Amino acid sequence: MKFLKFCILLLVLNFFFSDNVLAGDLRFRSDGKFKIIQVTDSHIKADSPYSQETIEMLNLVLDVEKPDLVIFTGDIVTGEPYKSGFDMVIEPLISRKIPYALLFGNHDDEQDLSKKELADLLMGYPYNISKLKKVKNVSGYGNYTIEIKDNTGKQTQAVIYCMDSNTYSALKQVEGYGWFNFDQIEWYRKQSDRFTKKNGGKPLPSLSFFHIPLPEYKKVYTDTIYRFVGVQMEKVCSPEINTGLFANMLEKGDIMGMFVGHDHVNDYIFNLYGIALAYGRFSGSKTTYTKLKNGVRVIELTKNTKGFGTWIRLDGTTVIDRVRFPDDLPLTKQR
């Protein structure tokens, strides 16, 4: 009987202290830092030799940066069979026991699986802390929050908003890409209010991640008063309809920066009214169009600090465009 009780105790301890459980318990490190790597538009095709370039790059940057979290901002696997592609791109994280989160782009569900089927598949992978199941009365798959706590695990000190930016316009008279629906914006507002209330009425430092850039990203394209760091080599492919997500985030006062992908040869960051609008670095290969060496964007938070550091890493040795937001990106500055 004693032996049986001991075995049951071991099973319980194994559950509560397993890698998978700890992977979702994100905390600032003892030095007060928390590091995120953004992987975007990897466009993995399991049967393409070019996709191996992405995996090699990912292995190099993970070994050097040692992130606390990796976020994939859409167009992850774009060739059948999907499972083989995801096995390929997620293995570097599983083997290193690094937590990761996934978001859908406009190409992810164009092959052999729907978003729902993809969500069901991906939630079975270890170290995946995504919440890809559909939220009741909220459009899309992949509207969820990730909390980063202090090193005791008791108090939430930063929040990440992951959102589904949808795919293509649902209106016949409007061409182009999809936009955030009002139910998603209302979902964000409620989540923001909830975290602010729990924090004594003070907005928590927060970041947002999604795939398709908002129309506000065009400010850099059309207005020379905004200084940016990075490259802008194609027109911003945002939706034609602006439903006001940026305005709502500005009003709530919690979002420090938003990070997108979609446009493969844009990787700039700039300051719009106190919020950083940033692209990740295209992480894919010759499986799709590109004029840039592939890489990732790194974001480093500091506990109890409104702001963050960010840079682009191309491989194990090369770092470019290192900036501190907002210090290095004033609100307006003539180029």
pLDDT one-digit tens code per residue, 118-168: 888 999 999 999 998 889 999 988 999 999 999 888 899 999 999 999 888
User: Of the ranges 98-112, 159-173, 262-276, 285-299, which one carries the lowest mean pLDDT score?
Assistant: 98-112
Contact assessment for residue 86 and residue 112, using Cβ atoms and an 8 Å cutoff? no
Q: What is the pLDDT of residues 157-203, one digit of tens each?
A: 999 999 999 888 888 898 888 889 999 999 999 999 999 999 999 99
Task: State how far the alpha carbon of 60 is from the alpha carbons of 23, 72, 226, 299, 314, in Å.
Answer: 21, 17, 33, 17, 9
Close Cβ partners of 17 (under 8 Å, ≥ 6 residues apart): none
pTM: 0.91
**Residue 333: which pLDDT band, with cuts at 50, 70 and 90?**
low
Query: What's the chain's average pLDDT?
Result: 89
The structure tokens listed for 2 are 């004693």
In the predicted structure, residue 217 carries a pLDDT above the cut 90:
yes
Flag whether pLDDT at 10 surpasses 80. Answer: no
Do the Cβ atoms of 204 and 253 come closer than 8 Å?
no
Q: Which residues lie closer than 8 Å to 176 by C-beta, 6 or more apart?
A: 168, 169, 237, 239, 240
Q: Flag whether pLDDT at 50 surpasses 80.
A: yes
Percent of the chain with pLDDT over 90: 70
What is the mean pLDDT of the segment spanning 80-90? 92
Give the span between the Cα atoms of 200 and 293, in whole angstroms.
45
* pLDDT at 38 > cutoff 90: yes
Q: What's the token pair of residue 28?
A: 């600032």
Greatest mean pLDDT among 82-86, 97-101, 133-137, 226-230 lies in 97-101
pLDDT at 315 over 50: yes
Q: What pLDDT does 24 receive?
A: 61
Residue 9 in this model has a pLDDT that exceeds 60: no
**Higher pLDDT among residues 18 and 98, named by residue:** 98
Give the integer Cα–Cα distance in Å for 203 and 183.
Answer: 21
